Amino acid sequence: MRRARFRRTRRAGAVTLASALTLTALAACGTSSSDDDGDNGSGNSAKADPAAPLDPKTKVSISIDCMPPAAKAAELRQWNEDVKEFNKKYPNVTINGRSTPGQCLEPPRFTAMLKAKSQPDVFYTYFTDLPQVLDNDGAQDITAYVNDKSVPLLKDIDPDVLSSLKKDGKLYGLPTSNYRMGLLINRKLFEEAGLDPDTPPATWEEVRTTAKKIADLGGGVAGFGEYSAANTGGWHFTAQMYSLGGDVVDASGKKAAFNDATGKQVAENLHAMRWDDDSMGKTQLLKWGDLQKQIATDKLGMFLAAPDDVTYMVQQLGAKYENFGMGPIPGGENTLAGGNNYMIKQGISADKVKASIAWLNFKFTTVGKGQYDWKRSKADALPVGLPQPNLWLNGSKTKDDAARQEFATMPVENFKAFTDNPVPGKAEPPKAQEIYKVLDNVMSGILTNKDADIDKLLSTAESQVNKVLATQ
């Protein structure tokens, strides 16, 4: 999900301007870089070969946002360690890290930043941001700069991930993380219901049967949970459509595609679990964060999620890693995929572009370094062992998977069903947030009204989504 989800860096909703300024000031004390955002280029940019990596002798300063705030002490310490290590090879590159929660947390500020052209040299984005960024002439075409010399593991990066950064064959950034949605389960409740937590349900029929068995435990336990508010209901309706081979927008991108047999199947199955089986709990109109609290307190058996939800539940809600497991999304035709990137501001010098790519490569796309230094993460009491983010294919994946296993801080076997049964990822639809807002009404109608007219809900939503798509 692009905005309403707020689940990667922009996770937790609105942050006040005062808080944002406070965090920025605090984090700035922790960065090893200066505040000078001037070009400081070598003066040879116009003559430089874009395909050649940055000359270590080049003196240049780059600004980059979404540096970890002071509140994330371990992550900020690692950032500063990486700047120091990076400067061993590039001693004349100054990394001006900015902790900017307003941009990283609040969608309106991100949009305002693009319109004002006030983004830093290297700015954080989601997979779904590229159209908005290009509409505002915000990102540099870096195709000529990115190759197996500037990004040595380029051929091992999942092409589906890189495609989120491409338009008309041109590349506009580098990825930092990715996810594919699966079925997150509470292993304790599975065992109490006499179910095998190592074999999560693989079809929606199995989900329904399993949910009923878990709900029959009583004590206010729900077997399966779903969102239906704050755009998250529409997001998950989309995920369920994908899982059955359906879509919410047709191939032209101009017409709704969910008012069909697949859409009706999704809606009728949820309605049956909610009202016939009473396996989804009585509290509805839930949004991101609500289901996490339920499953973390052993009140929910299953819901659709990405692997990093587990980290949130452990670090923020006091849950235990061993209590959770994960399987592929039921249905298994496709799953909703997403993630994060960094893009590079249009119009900066060639030396700045090269320095930016060199930093992003070191920090985010090198096995065993930066964010993939799992030995360091374990020593810093950060989570190791989740199956994602995992950008890798081929030998890089083998090497990275082995390191995750060696330094794991959680039982990685709990995710075996998910990792052993990969489902093709499918990107979010165009105008995703506006479409999700409309589809929230379908989800809330199904889950709050026993007498809901499913055909009417889908037909009304179809008409509304077609109007949204007509404004593109």
| Span 374-387, average pLDDT | 95
Dump pLDDT digits (tens) for 28-51: 333 444 344 444 454 444 456 999
| Span 286-301, average pLDDT | 98
In this prediction, residue 44 carries a pLDDT of 47
Which domains can be identified in the chain, with CATH numbers? 17-180+339-406 (3.40.190.10), 182-305+431-470 (3.40.190.10)
Helix/strand/coil percent split, the chain, to 5: 45, 15, 40
Closest by CA to 35, choosing from 62, 57, 58, is 62
In this prediction, residue 128 carries a pLDDT of 83
Dump pLDDT digits (tens) for 382-432: 999 999 989 999 999 999 999 999 999 999 999 999 999 999 999 999 999
Average pLDDT of the chain, as a whole number: 89
In this prediction, residue 103 carries a pLDDT of 57
d(CA 103, CA 111) in angstroms, rounded, equals 9
Closest by CA to 430, choosing from 250, 304, 259, 258, is 250
Closest by CA to 161, choosing from 151, 170, 173, is 173
3-state class (DSSP) for residue 281: coil
Residue 287 has pLDDT above 90, yes or no: yes
Give the pTM. 0.85
> Which amino acid would we find at residue 447?
L
Q: CB–CB of 2/126 below 8 Å?
A: yes
Kindly report the length of the chain. 472
d(CA 440, CA 21) in angstroms, rounded, equals 34
Closest by CA to 410, choosing from 345, 307, 320, is 320
